[in-house]
Structure 1
């Protein structure tokens, strides 16, 4: 008869081994983790943990040592892992789950990481969703957890934006989170107002390093869904938007600001209007408009205009007039009192003409349409609200400049051609309105293919839009001479209060004839601007 011994309970066996470990009995190994020592039994570690089995079989350089250092692990978490190896028991909490997962993965304990993932998936909250999402990006077995955590973070963007994990996100991760959020909001205004608030909180956490990302992040905000109250009470009161050029341009590009929001105010008293009102009205090839006070150096936000590039702009009788432009047969008029644009029937589609007012009649000269350059002059009478034709110019031209002085109309430079053959012009001409015909002026120093002009104290200035090459014509002497090149690319000149200003892509500068030099008065950003002086 065979003898059968009493069955030994494996659970009790490992419990006893763990007691031996804690009492330092029969130990043959010390593990050093983060400066803390953990005595253990090689046999137990090798039986339960594939990582240690490989180590003790000579796969690692430290295999034969009695004390082994484990790098990259936290002692508190490793102590929990030893308890699990010896007893099979471990308790997950929201504070320990990620560290347990990473340590178990390091030690190749296949079952334990799966249990960690299950625990985390059932315990996603505001303060851990980003950590769980980022964990899922590093470990393939957490791919489902990653999607669940990102969905949670996207849904509760408004709540998590105050957490440390959110504020410390990398830029690319913030982009991913914002893009994902668009799928989980039912109310568009709530979505984009939340996105805006989240962006600004993230920027303000480290503004010196993060402001460079502001322009790209604000592109996520669909401004047509922003409520007026949010614009008034949040966006317009955000100091960062006032201080950052990219942010200010975002405002100009995307909001038509009412008079209550806009510091462009014409209803102030006479003593205040000079301090608050703009002197220059500036537009660029987007639809945005702004104003500039040359004394205070203050910028003003104005309502966007309805059309894009290829127009000429004029000031007369408290209004801005825009004639021509891409894909339009209407003119526009801006009323500074109502702070709104309105359409004027024009019935002519023409691009890159130039214009000036003589009394209350606008003279719109040249331009081109369907690659045909024109020498026509259209006249718009403000009182009758009608167009007719004036005397044709001597040269067909577009992209030229036009200005009036002492009831004489001057046009300078520009280009002339047909089809693909285009030449730059170094020619200017003048029409005395009282005579009604054009005369050529002396030849210019340079050919100005795209230019604009301004008049200061009977001196006609002409500058290239793109390069800034500039010359002037003294009407009394009847001669052109070169002056200092205007600063910046893609700019325009305009005169105000007997000073010549250049508005260009990076700011505004003023010209000093005595020093023959330009000095910058304002840093700003424009896209090929057009400028008009107000009440000059």
Structure 2
């Protein structure tokens, strides 16, 4: 025989509805619960089935199993009423004014489903004016999910909370565990570390802790992100910063601030921005050739959103070198372009030896030790914290350069490196481990582009070595390293769209899927995964150069291209790098 298990969705609700009618009418009630002098008739069987407390209370061997009146002095009458309403209807009416008494009763009576609804209420109702209250309630009653939600909300909205005195005052009564968890958060848009330090010190003034607990709380501050002048001033007046442990942490931060050129190599959690994901910065470039602008765009690959760096380049540059070390952005050499204000068609281009360093922690530019030689259209790369400037050209009309220089941050100056086999400019560069690879470019004063690939072991190599040539001669192209292979993209003034991949193990180039349209003077950045992004650039259209707005993505696994999005405006001649930049505050 076949048997079928059938389920009624209405039976349970019907039973509860009948119980509620009986309770309302005062019928068949066999127990009265009392809190604060208020009496609540109820039914033992339903209470026992809904509450672990009553299940234990009404066992046959207990005195309460026969009692008609049961007093609950630990509960408020409102809290008991709330829980009884839930037991009889499965519904509960919650507001900030009733939340805590409800939780108190639900916890005492062990009505777990009511506690779950309180958690849901906190998660769905959290806002700027109640988040600290909710965090405190969640901590007090062990609501782990609501506790996490509240702390995450506080961290994500910290800039706005600190922006109003009323909400800021709520932070001063935040429970210790929540504040500790908030200070651990990796991402806090728009919040300066000095504000977190001041908040913590103010909180400690209102909530005295032992030295051990105070040290634990303050150790979550990233002191390297606090301006040294303010850090020194606070240390002089705040006792919490003068305990032996915290004083040593503060002294390390002040020492870091004094290191100047060495700072990129001294990074730690105390000097790292509260940012989870890096962005791509697009340095320089403009809407037309030889007209660079000094703004810097930022691009977040996951959201595909563009922004603008808060500060601009010190100069309008083109053909510069760009790299990142220790999350400092270095902009090296290039051509400074000055446009005649009266005649915008006239521009003066001067090759420079200037080196600028941008610190996103304090959003400031600093001029560093200049190059030994003025360079433009050169190769720039970083190996183990050492910056290399390779080849390039000086002023227009001057011969190309074969010299190489290295910037050693321990010393803080540029020194000559292993020279190239011959002068070259317009070449591309990529690194794998300690190896530096450069390809193509124009050698000396010859007008033809090159297919050549050169290699240098930056640790102990004393000469550049030749490797297999590319299939196509390239100039003004770019290369990217993805998963141990080097990809060479497009080039300048050449009627081709070919892309090829180099395997160092095999010393072999392989031709890949071409881009459908030619492109040059584009920005290029590897995402850190298997993809490479191409930003803007110029292309030939009807016999003229046209600046584009496309952002294209190349997938190295599938050898395929797709268009991701559009730039805010046409852009060519930009240089790209990846670094952590704090998001602006939410509006």
TM-score bin, normalised by smaller chain: 0.3 to 0.5
Looking at CA atoms only, which structure, 1 or 2, has the larger radius of gyration? 1
Q: TM-score, normalised by structure 2?
A: 0.43
